[in-house]
Structure 1
């Protein structure tokens, strides 16, 4: 038996009927809502509840990650943005013009996450401009998390609808 036949049997290339795609989608959005600007959100709760050293640790970690995000955005931002647009547009064309289901699935993963990425850069810039600390910093991070969760809920809903449509239409075509 050929190796590529074995790979295609193990990994179902029909993405929306594949359990691994849905697990990856759930893990991606769970991780995105837990790690706000690269900071685990439990640190925000601990800083609000206990203050003191927990708040100092949160401020230090946010400062480090905000500086890192804004450095990358200023140094390579236009290249990353252009490459991101190219990849997302290529996936959209392959997926919805040429009907490549794998491209559709990856598009449904990357497009909303790119919106979260742009929102993260914007939030990082606001934190730096405001010099947010303490409660103001916790509120800004909480708003970022809620926005990420809303984008994630919409993304999961739309992806589910499209996946059900794809699975139903392919099952009718098989008849």
Structure 2
């Protein structure tokens, strides 16, 4: 027996029946909803609750992250769009046309995350254009977080339904 045969026997390499895939899915969406535009959401709650220095810290951190995101978008935006479109279309083709389960799993992670990335860039542009005060900035970040969480919930639901279908279709007798 070779090493690869042993590994494939011991470790289930199918994505949707692998516990690590589901742990990773939960961690990715938890992290995406906790950091809004790169700012930990507890800073937003602290700025709303206490004001003062917490508000100034929030405004400074948002300004830094918005400028960083917009700089990356302006310097490499066209290339990023092209590379992301190529990767997503390759994953979708490999996963859903050729039936490769790993590509399906990665596509079900990457597609909604790319929507969150585009939404984050749009929110960053709006914040840079309007330069809102701390109270409006907190509302804007909370609204952005709501939409990220909504996309995450829909993504987890769709991934779970598709994963259950995949697992049941491989099971004997189905």
How many residues align? The count is 174
TM-score normalised by L of structure 2: 0.96
Measured in 1, the distance between the counterparts of 2:6 and 2:63 equals: 48
SS at match of 2:171: helix
Q: Give deviations 1:119-166, integer Å, cap 9, x for gaps.
A: 000000000011112111001100110000000000000000000000
Measured in 1, the distance between the counterparts of 2:3 and 2:63 equals: 49
SS at match of 1:137: helix
SS at match of 2:16: helix
The corresponding residue for 1:44 is 44
Q: CA deviation at 1:11?
A: 3.7
The corresponding residue for 1:65 is 65
Q: How does 1:109-128 map to 2 (within 5 A)?
A: 109-128=109-128
Q: Give deviations 1:19-73, integer Å, cap 9, x for gaps.
A: 0000000000000000000000000000000000000000000000000000000
Q: Is residue 2:100 matched to residue 1:100?
A: yes
Q: CA deviation at 1:10?
A: 4.6
What RMSD over aligned residues (CA atoms) do the two structures have, in Å?
A: 1.2
Structure 1 unaligned regions, length at least 5: none
Runs of 4+ in 1 over 6 A off after TM superposition: none
Measured in 2, the distance between the counterparts of 1:21 and 1:5 equals: 21
